[in-house]
Amino acid sequence: MKEQEGVIKYQLEHTEKPIVEKISLSEINAWRTIIFRLGLIGQDPERYDNLGFGNISQRLDSQSSQFIISSSQTGHIEHLSPEHYCLVVKADPRKNQIQSCGLYKPSSESLTHASIYAQDGNIQAVIHVHSPEIWNNTAALNLPHISADIPYGTVEMAIAVEQLFQSGDLQRTSLFTMLGHEDGVVSFGINMQEAAWELIKCLSLAIGILQH
């Protein structure tokens, strides 16, 4: 049975109120627009039952475990407004729990983002996209990956992310694919630019293979 895209699986305690924390959204929003234009975040009637896909997040600051993330089902919007982001106040990936606030609920992949931030305090940005080009060439590109039997947005995925970091495979690239999540690719970096460039570089390599 094909898994439905965009379903929130974690236990969510969400407060519906505007984000009051002072954080500039200009950089995250600019990169999200670029990634949207590349078709890596979006919504397509021909894919995933026409549900939005992809999300982007940024740590609140270098000393914080909190992060801003695009809200659930905003994939169809090219330019997000501040209300389309929410704040993950607290996350416990191993307990499958997230506390958040914002006018909309956080992305269904928030637990995976939280798990990545927990691995390294230097990581300041995470981007989750859907790229059939990269995903289908996981083996050809020798990409780190999470096995096909691990579903997205679950405790199992959070643990698998931990294990991937512990394996050392992510020292050579800050990107991995999720083989149990159709077309799912995640990149991360010490800033938004690094996360985005790793993703774009990998996409160019994948397209090169397809055109060979």
For 159, counting Cβ atoms within 10 Å of its Cβ (0-12 exposed, 13-18 middle, 19+ buried), the class is middle
Q: Are 186 and 179 in contact (CB under 8 A)?
A: no
Q: Are 170 and 164 in contact (CB under 8 A)?
A: yes
Look up tokens 């236990």; give the residue. Answer: 11
- Model pTM score: 0.93
The mean per-residue pLDDT over the stretch 13-41 comes to 91
pLDDT tens per residue, range 55-99: 999 999 888 889 999 998 899 999 999 999 999 999 998 888 999
Strand, helix or coil for residue 137: coil
**DSSP for residue 104:** S
User: Alpha helices of 138-211 — where are they, by DSSP H?
Assistant: 155-167, 192-211
Domain 11-211 falls under CATH 3.40.190.10: no
Q: Are 179 and 148 in contact (CB under 8 A)?
A: yes
Residue ranges covered by each domain of the chain: 11-211
For 167, counting Cβ atoms within 10 Å of its Cβ (0-12 exposed, 13-18 middle, 19+ buried), the class is exposed
The mean per-residue pLDDT over the stretch 18-39 comes to 90
| Per-residue model confidence (pLDDT) at position 7 | 60
**DSSP for residue 105:** P
Pairing of strands 175-178, 97-102: unpaired
pLDDT band, very low/low/confident/very high, at 188 (cuts 50, 70, 90): very high
Rounded CA-CA distance 157/164 in Å is 10
Q: To the nearest whole number, what is the mean pLDDT of the chain?
A: 91
pLDDT band, very low/low/confident/very high, at 155 (cuts 50, 70, 90): confident
The percent helix, strand, coil of the chain (3-state, each to 5) is 35, 25, 40
